[in-house]
Structure 1
Amino acid sequence: MKKWFTRLTMACLFACLFCLTASAQDLKAKKMDNPQWKWVVLIDFKPGKNDRANEIIRNYFMKADQSAGLPGPSYALDLMSGDWDILVSFDMKGGVDDLNWEISPDDEKWMKAIGTLAGSPDKAKAILDEWASLIQRETRFLAKVHK
């Protein structure tokens, strides 16, 4: 039985290699037609910290988006099952070129807006530090909208 499985596996590998070699000859350069890129963020808050996190989102983050004239997330979901508390998606209006910014012009606008809302840049930093303290873990994914 083990020999049979090994032979089948080897046959499949050779078939895949043949297909890749044959199709590689037919490949031509092709750029994606207007891809839409997003950052997808999953956040798991520390136990008992969801309410405070939602207060910061409502009272600062959403208001900073509005004040800075920024769209905010394209969608945000409160997750009711699984290991994560929220899922947020942000459009990348500049596509993958947005990844080249250490601090983008939109980031700068947003930070000024949250500084104004908080009363000073130091108070805004304290709010952002508190936000970070509420997070158990976070992960981000670069995603392309499926057409």
Structure 2
Amino acid sequence: MESIMPEGEPLSFEARKRNALFALAGVAAVSTLATWVFSNNELGQSLTTILTAVAVIVGILHWCKADAEEREIEISHGLRIFIILMAIFALPYYFIKSRGLKKGLISTGLALLFWILIYFVSAMTLLVLSLVEDRLGIFVK
């Protein structure tokens, strides 16, 4: 069976990290759409939350793996479990461990800025979708 992937150079570390960030942004977009679709369905909301959490953790792990390979360090199994269970604390720990205190705190700030941007875009998308359906009642006579 032939592979559908072209043969050649593997993706660079930067490309892999960028792809992980785009995937996380895509997860946020799909999650926002699913939240809107399932707004009146408790089971749908719960499934959306669980699937989003799993996808975000996978994206973070993928990004950390590419970053660790680029820096030629190894992510221990303990750190992977820490990321899975408490990513909000594990990511700053990883940044400080892999970059030192100053650059680690800067990287933590950049990660926080990324999440704020994703949250803002998701909130605006949800607002636009709500206006389209007029759930806010703005266009009611």
Verify same fold: TM over 0.5: no
Larger strand share, 1 or 2: 1
Rg bigger for which structure?
1
Using the size of structure 2 for normalisation, the TM-score is 0.29
Using the size of structure 1 for normalisation, the TM-score is 0.28
Larger helix share, 1 or 2: 2
Name which structure has the greater RCO, CA cutoff 8 Å, separation 6+. Answer: 1
